[in-house]
Amino acid sequence: MVKGLDSLQQEEYYNLLTNPETYGINSKQSIHLLGRNNGEGSFYALMFPLFNASLFEEFVARQAIITDQPGEIMEMEGYKLVQMGGYYLGWNETIGVIADGEAAAPQYDFTFPEENPYDYEEYPTYDEEVPTEEIAVEEAPVIEEVVEEVAPVEEEMIIEAPVEEEDIVIEAPYPMDYTEEEPYTETEAVTGWVDELLNRYFDQSLTSNPDYLAAAAKPADAHLWVDYRQFMSMGQGGMGGFGAQGMAALGGANQLIDQMYKDVFLTMTLNFNQGALELQSQMVGSGKMIEVMKNAYDAKFNKKMWKYVDGRELLGYYSVRFDVEDLVEGFKEIFLSAMADMPMFGNSFSKVTDVLGIIIDEDALYDLFKGDIMVAMTGVRQSETPVTSYEYDENFNPSQVEKIVKKQFPEFLVMTSYGNEENMMKLIRLAESFNVAISMGSYYQIPGGTDGQEYFLALKDGVLLFTNDGALIQEDLDSGVAASSRLGKMHRKNLRKNVQSMFWDVQATWNALQQTDAAATGGEMAEAMEKVQDKLDSISMLTSRKSLRTSLTLDLMDKESNALEQVLYLINQVVLEAAGLKRI
């Protein structure tokens, strides 16, 4: 049940969710959640189909009574509208809309230059008198005229006012109280959003976008469509109060967002299958970001990494790769293009980058790190840690005792490809000079902490390895782990064909966690794992090289039941409880 509702409300909303037809809602058609961010503000709406508007209106009237919020049902042009609490509810014969939003903050500039830029003759005179001592400015004859026209009663009021308020009247050619119209502005903005949706006042329908039509045609239990330009600009609306500097920064950010995300869209589909939940997302459109990402993702996996990953007790891994040069050059082109369109910057940014190009050897940087990284958790390892404790005799005299404590830690391996080994060695020698790395011949040891762990670093055939698995570095650096112990065929295929690959074996992690101190001490991870381990088998994520499509799959333990029921159970067990909310 939902907190904060009495029994009558609980029953009403329960019936609404379990039998929406009783309230005139057509549950056999799609429900749409919409969001928009533009110069007027940020707005959200839930649209749902109706088959009986009269039944729905009766429900709305009852809610107004039950919640003690008797909003007036207003007859609008082609629909009805009521305000209930903090949202607006509108409906016509076939569609219902629940809407809310926030109007854009007024873009006031409170910075005043030293020289007065205002021509007071362009503004209406005010029924206020300025004291005599303030009129002694030869450049402001208009102020003298204002004094002559003011009535005697108002003159007395101005004389009694503090000097500070008199200064404000002179300096600001507009009223300074902006609070009165803000509620009206927000109400008008949100109700205008409802009116636009119900009467379909659109300059261009979403269905005119062929990418949207192609995405919407795919089978899905839920579908999300996001305009990247609007989404990324949502945080830019509150900078107007920072004066000219804020407006300049806002303009620069908007120019950059336009260059990066114009005509770029994100489409996501969610499917609840038998025993698995699958979420697919894809960047589509014709914007510059699409081209940059496709070029950057045209990178091959370094197969030399495979031989170092022990797959026998694999807990999980994450791998990503991209072409560093294509990524940097692509973003640089977008950034410079955005700055060039701004009058206040002009060509200065391109000149700065030209100078940086002289100082920085970009080709050397591109050849240093090749743009790929792989992190693997390959099991659990044991370490021995010396611990000092004290024992007391019968006279309470302490004696120091040294003990060896065995601890279990996750075993990890981090790998990345490099090009120029000479330049890479310069970085390692720098680490040696600060005693961060200690040369052990063919590898380097990294001093650990008080937990007894040891860390190792090595360079081998274009692969940099960093791990806490000493045996791998000390014994298997040349040959790698035994061929029969390496990653399986499925994992190798996923790593080769996808620019981003992630796999997490929940069951193996849970079993390994039982061997570590985290399980014994009841850490947060152990508690969360305990709640999901009986439902969740594994999680995997793949991003295609060519299509910019990402697939996230949750494989569940119960392969026969629908995933929706099982996912709701997981949300109930973990998310709601962690947030301190009552379980469903």
Q: What is the pLDDT of residues 322-347, one digit of tens each?
A: 999 999 889 888 877 777 766 655 56
pTM here?
0.72
Residues 124 and 11 in one domain: no
Number of domains in the chain: 3
Residues 138 and 20 in one domain: no
Q: Tell me if 212 is assigned to some domain.
A: no
Residues 6 and 147 in one domain: no
Residues 529 and 482 in one domain: yes
Q: Tell me if 211 is assigned to some domain.
A: no
Residues 2 and 137 in one domain: no
Q: What is the dihedral of CA 514, 518, 520, 522, to 10 degrees?
A: -110
Residues 521 and 454 in one domain: yes
Q: Tell me if 437 is assigned to some domain.
A: yes
Residues 459 and 532 in one domain: yes
What's the domain range around 147? 120-171
State the pLDDT at residue 252.
56
State the pLDDT at residue 577.
63
The secondary structure of 470-527 as a DSSP string is HHHHHHSTTT-S-GGGB--HHHHHHHHHEEEEEEEEHHHHHHHHTTSHHHHHT-HHHH
State the pLDDT at residue 84.
81
Angle at which helix 243-261 crosses helix 324-340, to 10 degrees, equals 130
Residues 136 and 86 in one domain: no
Q: Tell me if 261 is assigned to some domain.
A: no
Instruction: Round to whole Å and give the CA distance between 529 and 505.
Output: 12
Which residue stretches of the chain have pLDDT < 70? 1-7, 39, 64-71, 105-185, 234-254, 341-359, 449-451, 516-525, 575-584
State the pLDDT at residue 345.
59
The helix (H) or strand (E) run that includes residue 55 is helix 53-66
Q: Tell me if 467 is assigned to some domain.
A: yes
Contact 305, 461 (CB under 8 A): no
Residues 3 and 99 in one domain: yes
The three-class DSSP label of residue 209 is: coil
The helix (H) or strand (E) run that includes residue 296 is helix 288-296
Residues 310 and 450 in one domain: yes
Place of tokens 């950010």: 253
The helix (H) or strand (E) run that includes residue 264 is strand 264-273
Instruction: Round to whole Å and give the CA distance between 263 and 210.
Output: 12
Tell whether the torsion through CA atoms of 478, 481, 482 and 483 is positive or negative: negative
State the pLDDT at residue 344.
59
φ, ψ at 487 (rounded to 5°): -55, 145
Contact 535, 336 (CB under 8 A): no
What is the DSSP-derived secondary structure letter of residue 110? -
Residues 58 and 83 in one domain: yes
Residues 325 and 188 in one domain: no
Query: For the chain, what is the total number of helices (H) and then of strands (E)?
Result: 21, 19
Instruction: Round to whole Å and give the CA distance between 423 and 366.
Output: 12
For the chain, give the number of residues.
584
The three-class DSSP label of residue 45 is: strand
* Residue at 276: amino acid letter: A
Q: Tell me if 511 is assigned to some domain.
A: yes
Reported in sequence order, the residue ranges of 276-349 that DSSP labels E, i.e. its strands, are: 276-285, 316-321
Provide the token pair at 242: 């920072």
Q: Tell me if 151 is assigned to some domain.
A: yes
Instruction: Round to whole Å and give the CA distance between 279 and 270.
Output: 5
Q: Tell me if 369 is assigned to some domain.
A: yes
